[in-house]
Amino acid sequence: MSDRSASSPCVLVTGGAGYIGSHVLHALTDAGIPAVTIDNLSTGRRRAVPGAVPLIEGDIGDASLLERTIREHRVDAVMHFAGSIVVPESVSNPLAYYRNNTVNSLTLLDTCVRLGVGNVVFSSTAAVYGSPERVPIDEETPTVPINPYGASKLMTERMLRDAGAAHGVRSVILRYFNVAGADPEGRTGQATPVATHLIKVACQALLGRRPALSIFGTDYPTPDGTCIRDYIHVSDLADAHVLALLHLRRGGESLVLNCGYGGGASVHEVVEALERVSGERVPATLAPRRPGDPPQLVAVADRIRERLGWVPKHDRLDDIVRSALVWERSLDHPAP
């Protein structure tokens, strides 16, 4: 056992070498909170993990590895990011998503219960809402996911609630809307070359790493005909995780919280913002609607501010796309 782990409790971050997990590790390190991460590096990058954080290469489906890590590092809380996140892939390969997102989460929660780890911050998604009838979306909106990705995440939410009732596990479930941007200090960002997120893809198109950005549907019932989404800067999201951890460590009750700003931007508005901050044109082509794309997904985001005292620092669309573009320019991978 290291001196650090002997002196204070530690948070286990699963999937800490990935996009959001690595930002949270940097936020924890900045706050002086000891952490350890487990990541199988299937999509994550070793260099995204802060140097002060031990990286254990392995899978959270390995109960013995989880147990050793929790005991060795005196883990008192878990932040759970590890999982698969590509919606179309979940439709074509659903069982892999239920295995990676649901079964592995069961292994993690079972290990936590056995070892007395009673604090869990869970990386969930607005996909649990499916295609809601009313927008904006609050936390009481019915959860009716329309794809295996959303369903697999909702199952973990249900396991957390049941574990709370039966075993006293307290959790903060954070339902992300559209996460974008990169660490303002350039320490980490979204590094997957074959990405599906709009702002990432738009940056790749602007830099010539894709032939063009495809705009799927221009006939939606929105002001400019394109889909509207609630974009949240990944560093603001990371800060929310730190506040959630502190809430649980203070003995706070379990919470379900939307993570968004409560406002939306259309596809056209995102493209205009990127062109504004870059001074360049984003090559784009118009394409038919994609099945299952709701016209508008915007959060009611009052509860997270009230319950955690969360105050966003990067909630201007120009700031989000500028940080994403700066990060994309720093990457050396070829076009997908």
- Residue-wise pLDDT for 146-197, tens only, equals 999 999 999 999 999 999 999 999 999 999 999 999 999 999 999 887 778 9
Cα–chain center distance at 149:
13
Distance (Å, whole) CA 199 – CA 232: 11
Do 249 and 132 fall into the same domain? yes
In this prediction, residue 131 carries a pLDDT of 86
Overall average pLDDT of the 225-253 stretch: 98
Residue 282 region by backbone torsions, left for phi larger than 0, else alpha for psi between -120 and 50, else beta: beta
The pLDDT score that the predictor gives to residue 18 is 96
Contacts 24+ apart (CB under 8 A), 39-42: 39/14, 39/15, 39/82, 40/82, 41/17
In this structure, the answer to whether residues 236 and 300 fall within a common structural domain is no
Let me know if residue 52 belongs to a domain.
yes
Percentage of the chain modeled with pLDDT above 70: 96
> Taking 80 as the threshold, does the pLDDT of residue 38 lie above it?
yes
Does 191 reside within a domain? no
Element (H, E) at 103: none
For residues 127 and 101, the answer to whether their CB atoms sit within 8 Å is no
Short-list 34, 117, 48, 333, CA closest to 208: 333
For residue 296, give the CATH number of its domain: 3.90.25.10
pLDDT computed for residue 167 by the predictor: 98
Residue corresponding to tokens 């390190």: 29
> CB neighbours of 175 closer than 8 A, spacing ≥ 6?
124, 125, 126, 128, 129, 139, 256, 257, 258, 259
Domain end (from 211, 241, 259): 259
In this structure, what CATH number is given to the domain that contains residue 55?
Answer: 3.40.50.720
Reported confidence tier of residue 333, pLDDT bands at 50, 70, 90 = low
**CA atoms lying within 13 Å on the CB side of residue 219:** 4
317 found inside a domain: yes
Are residues 279 and 152 both part of a single domain? no
What confidence category does residue 113 fall into, taking pLDDT thresholds of 50, 70 and 90? very high
Statement to judge: residues 172 and 241 lie in one domain: yes
Whether 244 and 285 have beta carbons less than 8 Å apart is answered as no
261: annotated active-site residue? no
8 Å CB contact between 229 and 302: no
Range of the domain at 134: 9-180+231-259
Q: Residue 335: is its pLDDT beyond 70?
A: no
240: closest CA among 7, 13, 28, 14? 28
Residue 1 is assigned to a structural domain of this protein: no
- Say if residue 211 is in the same domain as residue 118: no
Would residue 4 count as lying in a domain? no
119 and 226 belong to one structural domain: no
Number of C-beta neighbours around residue 135 at 10 A: 17
pLDDT of 336 above 50: no
Residues 323 and 237 in one domain: no
Residues 287 and 241 in one domain: no
Catalytic residue among 97, 129, 149, 261: 149
Domain tally, the chain: 2
* 240 in the same domain as 267: no
Question: Whole-prediction pTM value?
Answer: 0.94
Alpha-carbon separation of residue 312 from 136, 236, 240, 246, 308 (angstroms): 19, 5, 9, 17, 12
Which uninterrupted H or E stretch holds 13? strand 10-14
Is 335 a member of any domain? no
Q: Which residue has the higher pLDDT, 332 or 124?
A: 124
Whether 251 maps to a domain, the answer reads yes
pLDDT grade for 334, boundaries at 50, 70 and 90: low
Residue 185 resides in a domain: no
Same domain, 281 and 253: no
Q: Is residue 112 domain-shared with residue 255, that is, in the same domain?
A: yes
Dihedral sign, Cα of residue 47, residue 282, residue 89, residue 239? positive
How far is the C-alpha of 228 from the C-alpha of 294, rounded, in Å? 9
Q: Do both 304 and 277 map to the same domain?
A: yes
